[in-house]
Amino acid sequence: MRTWIKTPLAVLAENAAGGIVIEDGRITELLPSGATPSSPVDETFDASSHVVIPGLVNTHHHFFQTLTRAHPSAINKELFPWLEALYPIWARNVTPETFRLGTRLALTELLMSGCTTAADHHYLFPQGLENAIDIQVEEATRLGIRMTVTRGSMNLSQKDGGLPPDSVVQDEDTILADCERVLSRYHDASEGAQIQVALAPCAPFTVTKRLMRESVSLAERFDCRLHTHLGETVDEDDYCLHHFQCRPVDYLEECGWLNERVWLAHGIHFTDDEIKRLGHACVGVCHCPTSNMTLASGQCRTKELEAAGSPVGLGVDGSASNDNSNLMESLRHALMINRLTYDAASVTHFDTYRWATEGSARCLGRKDIGAIEIGRQADLALYTLDELRFSGSGDPLAALILCGAHTADRVMVGGDWKVVDATPVHMDIARLRHEHGEAARRFLEAL
């Protein structure tokens, strides 16, 4: 099957004004203006009213949190009190059924926003939810989106001086056995993989040092990535200094986590020296601008991290600290908060596109996605500019971000259309909204 996406209104690729040719799920030709495909095509899609960008890549999320968006117990709080308010609610109400609906809704939102690859950091395992990773694989496969499922973990709870309730953590041996199970069953390290697995202890202050180190050993054995929260708040720094007598990056190094397999969520409160060390080790950082602003956590030093050698990606973060799963919207937030951090001239819309595509792909260890280039997977997001918000816009690529694009008109994953006319081809949106809304009601019943 050869498809020609013909003469786009604008395209985030060099010398491709004539369009993109796709064959067997990969990009095979980029056509300059006026050129035609080198051989006949089976399908031609007229993209003259579409802005075409690489499929967006989301590198940090918590899908189950779609069930507690704008929750009255948690709004207007910073991270630790926010977690203290929500942990008991999640512990009582996250079941396989609610978890499945939370995952389905988050993946659908992401896909509709133009996201073609998503990483979810799931660390909550109350009794009955032992097969959470299996549920996520099923939902991603059903929708047709690529996913890095991260087998998260917590084994330090309130009885150990931690934040999580005792009922949502697991012991080390249970965690490690299930990590090995899901890696053996689902991790596909090959080019074009739909499902990959990463190991993701929630944060240094919710797991033991042994679990951190054993996760590294498993990652080396199965050739997978490692992920955790780090440097999100000043409270985290204080916790590590009190309990470990060192800062979070020092503790990460003690655990063997300063290496190129690792990408971190947030990465806000790093010193100049820590940034140099992270960059030297090629540790990636997922910038979560919307969440960081919602919880008043701080501002990620994206430019310094990239200059030091760290891949910088983009994530929406949990849908209770965002409070949605729209990655395209997060590009706009990333542009604005980074201009506030630096200046208007040195942070452009191209920077935010890079973070959300190539940078995110590097965080996930993938060289087959993240750019419109010959040989890459045909993961594309196409947007029209026919809404009132775009009227008068002169630069189509800049307009998607500056004017606030929300929904892609078409989304392609591996050469197959997964969104057509702004609607996922394998999802009943009205039914999903009703079922998810009903499930979320139980998270409010205790108020």
Alpha carbon 331 to its chain centroid, in Å, reads 12
204 pLDDT tier (thresholds 50, 70, 90): confident
Amino acid identity, position 285: V
What's residue 260's pLDDT?
Answer: 98
**What's the helix, strand, coil split of the chain in %, to 5?**
40, 20, 40
Q: What is the mean pLDDT of residues 184-196?
A: 98
What's residue 445's pLDDT?
Answer: 81
Q: From CA 405, how far away is CA 428, in angstroms rounded? A: 23
pLDDT reading at 226 higher than 90 = yes
The two domains 2-53+375-424 and 56-363 share their CATH topology (first three levels equal):
no
Could you give the C-alpha distances from 54 to 12, 29, 189, 300, 354, in angstroms and in order? 7, 15, 21, 24, 10
Residue with tokens 């409070």: 323
Residues 248 and 212: beta-carbon distance below 8 Å: no
Q: Is the peptide bond before 428 cis (omega within 30 degrees of 0)?
A: no
pLDDT digits (tens, 9 = 90+) for 104-159: 999 999 999 999 999 999 999 999 999 999 999 999 999 999 999 999 999 999 89
Domain with residues 2-53+375-424, CATH architecture: Roll (2.30)
| CATH code of the domain made up of 56-363 | 3.20.20.140
The pair of three-digit structure tokens given for residue 228, joined into one six-digit string: 């955790």
Q: What is the mean pLDDT of residues 88-99?
A: 96
Residues 380 and 3: beta-carbon distance below 8 Å: no
Question: Sign of torsion, CA 80 82 88 92?
Answer: negative
pLDDT reading at 161 higher than 90 = no
Residues 62 and 143: beta-carbon distance below 8 Å: no
Question: Sign of torsion, CA 365 259 175 165?
Answer: negative
Q: What length is written for the chain?
A: 447
Helix (H) or strand (E) segment spanning residue 314: strand 312-314
Alpha carbon 59 to its chain centroid, in Å, reads 3
Residue with tokens 């006949």: 40
What's residue 243's pLDDT?
Answer: 86
pLDDT digits (tens, 9 = 90+) for 9-25: 999 999 999 999 999 99
Rounded to two decimals, the pTM is 0.97
What's residue 446's pLDDT?
Answer: 59
pLDDT reading at 86 higher than 90 = yes
Question: Of 336, 413, 351, 343, which Cα lies nearest the Cα of 382?
Answer: 413
43 pLDDT tier (thresholds 50, 70, 90): very high
Percent of the chain with pLDDT over 90: 95
Q: From CA 32, how far away is CA 15, in angstroms rounded? A: 5
CB atoms inside a 10 Å sphere around CB 109: 22
Quote the radius of gyration of the chain (alpha carbons, Å): 21
Residues 136 and 120: beta-carbon distance below 8 Å: yes
Q: From CA 247, how far away is CA 238, in angstroms rounded? A: 8
pLDDT digits (tens, 9 = 90+) for 296-312: 999 999 999 999 999 99
pLDDT reading at 101 higher than 90 = yes
What's residue 379's pLDDT?
Answer: 99
Q: From CA 153, how far away is CA 227, in angstroms rounded? A: 11
Q: What is the mean pLDDT of residues 406-435?
A: 97
Residue with tokens 């095509």: 41
Helix (H) or strand (E) segment spanning residue 361: helix 360-363
What's residue 160's pLDDT?
Answer: 87
Residue with tokens 């500019």: 385
Q: What is the mean pLDDT of residues 218-240?
A: 95
Domain ranges of the chain: 2-53+375-424, 56-363
pLDDT reading at 447 higher than 80 = no
Region of residue 135 (phi > 0: left; psi between -120 and 50: alpha; otherwise: beta): alpha
Point out which residues pair with 226 in neighbouring strands. 199, 262
Q: Using alpha carbons only, what angle is made at residue 279 by residues 303 and 356, rounded to the nearest 5 degrees?
A: 50
178 pLDDT tier (thresholds 50, 70, 90): very high
Q: From CA 328, how far away is CA 372, in angstroms rounded? A: 17
What's residue 162's pLDDT?
Answer: 78
pLDDT reading at 29 higher than 90 = yes
